[in-house]
Amino acid sequence: MNLAWISHKFRSDSSKDQASGGLNAVELVKLGSLPVKSRGKSKSLGIGHAGLQQKVCEKSGLIADRQLDLLELKCRRPVEHLLAGEYRSVFKGRGIEFEDVRPYTPGDDVRSMDWKVTARTGVPHVKRYVEEREQMFYLMVDLSASTLSDAEKAKRRTVAEFCGLLTLSALSNNDRVGLIMFTDRVELVVPASKGRQQGMRILDALSGFEPKGSSTRLDVALDTFSHLARKRSVGFVISDFLAENYEQELAAAGFRHDVIAVNLFEAIELEAPRSGMARIRDSETGKLDVVDFQAAQSRSRLAKIRELTLECGVDLINLQSGGDCVAVLSEFFKSRQRMAADEAGG
């Protein structure tokens, strides 16, 4: 092996690697301790396999922790000042549970009398009930190649922020939140739970989990959700919905649960480029195809998704990549409030 060439290669790449800690991982991992020339003399870097791996892991861990902290800070403020109250008014508990008894006062409903306590104490008592607010809340996040294909990772950041806002809003309401990440298989399941530690676990997966699959199977994710959610739950499906044969599972989930489809799209879908014929590559299959952008109807996919969600009985949120997630969620909560007021006749 030509050590002079390797030394030159290392020096030429070191300026590029300086921004990421000054380590050229490929050469160092291969050679362990690499001789380089410094001021006409040769000396060893003195970094072995274990030392390099430790430094690389520490650096990547610090970057991941910093990204996680930034995501939490970005999501927590709008949740505390705006979204938590709107969430609470939209997603209410659907049952009541017994809390305790209290002495009867004029005007109380006689049907709530606790006759056993009344007979035992000789004083009329009524039962008190409270609303069962705790709900099960699931996020189904599509990590297929089509949702991660943009070079600037804007889709991944948008999904992470949107789901982070939902997670913190639900946890602030003392609801249980779970996460299902999927491609053509279920990649990761975080069982529903509550508390700050659960929130950080979900935010960490949203910002850093790397999937193994590349294509999309929405039916697999919906089947997993139906299996995990034994009682009526709230489920958000975040995807670009570039999949097939999932309509039956979506309709079944929408019948049993409160399901909201979140359609992730890019601005280019609203106005296709006028470039005529173009060769494009499918990010999930790798297949090359020729598309006539002048003849393509850019709004057709969004219209089809809207029709599909209406047929399946689920709500729809259109989320643009790089868009304002807080405004989108706030508008959704307000539309739910208006719908509830119309149903109540108010």
pLDDT at 303: 87
For residues 316 and 38, what is the distance between their CA atoms, to the nearest angstrom?
62
Burial of 184 (C-beta count, 10 Å sphere; 0-12/13-18/19+):
middle
Same domain, 325 and 262: yes
- What is the reported pLDDT for 294? 60
pTM: 0.67
C-alpha–C-alpha distance, residues 235 and 312, integer Å: 14
Starting at the edge strand found earlier in the chain, the sheet holding 258-265 runs 186-193, 176-182, 136-142, 234-239, 258-265, 315-320
Of the residues 14, 44, 59, the one at which a domain ends: 59
- Residue 219: per-residue pLDDT: 96
Burial class from Cβ neighbours inside 10 Å (0-12, 13-18, 19+) for residue 76 reads: middle
Do the strands 176-182 and 136-142 form a parallel or antiparallel pair, or are they unpaired? Answer: parallel
pLDDT of residue 5: 36
Task: Work out whether strand 258-265 and strand 288-292 pair parallel, antiparallel, or are unpaired.
Answer: unpaired
* Cβ atoms of residues 272 and 296 within 8 Å: yes
Domain of residue 276, residue span: 136-343
Number of structural domains in the chain: 3
Render each residue's pLDDT in the chain as its tens digit; 346 residues: 443 333 333 334 444 444 434 433 333 333 333 344 444 444 444 445 555 455 545 544 554 566 666 666 667 777 766 676 677 767 765 556 667 888 988 878 788 899 999 999 999 999 887 656 678 899 999 999 888 777 678 899 999 999 999 999 888 888 899 999 999 999 999 999 999 899 999 999 998 899 998 899 999 999 999 999 988 899 999 999 989 999 999 999 999 999 999 999 888 766 666 666 666 666 666 677 766 666 555 557 788 899 999 999 999 999 999 999 989 998 998 888 888 777 665 5
User: 154 and 29: one domain?
Assistant: no
Q: What are phi and psi for residue 117, nearest 5 degrees? A: -65, -35
* pLDDT at residue number 121: 92
User: What is the reported pLDDT for 273?
Assistant: 62
Within a domain: residue 64?
no
The answer to whether residue 84 is domain-embedded is no
Q: Are residues 117 and 198 in the same domain?
A: no
Q: Same structural domain for residues 128 and 161?
A: no
Give the number of other CB atoms < 10 A from CB of residue 312: 20
How many other CB atoms are found less than 10 A from the CB of residue 38? 11
Assess if residue 159 is contained within a domain: yes
Looking at the structure, do residues 100 and 219 belong to the same domain, yes or no?
Answer: no
Residue 244: give its domain's CATH number: 3.40.50.410
Residues 233 and 141 in one domain: yes
Q: Evaluate whether residue 148 is within a structural domain.
A: yes
Domain assignment of residue 75, yes or no = no
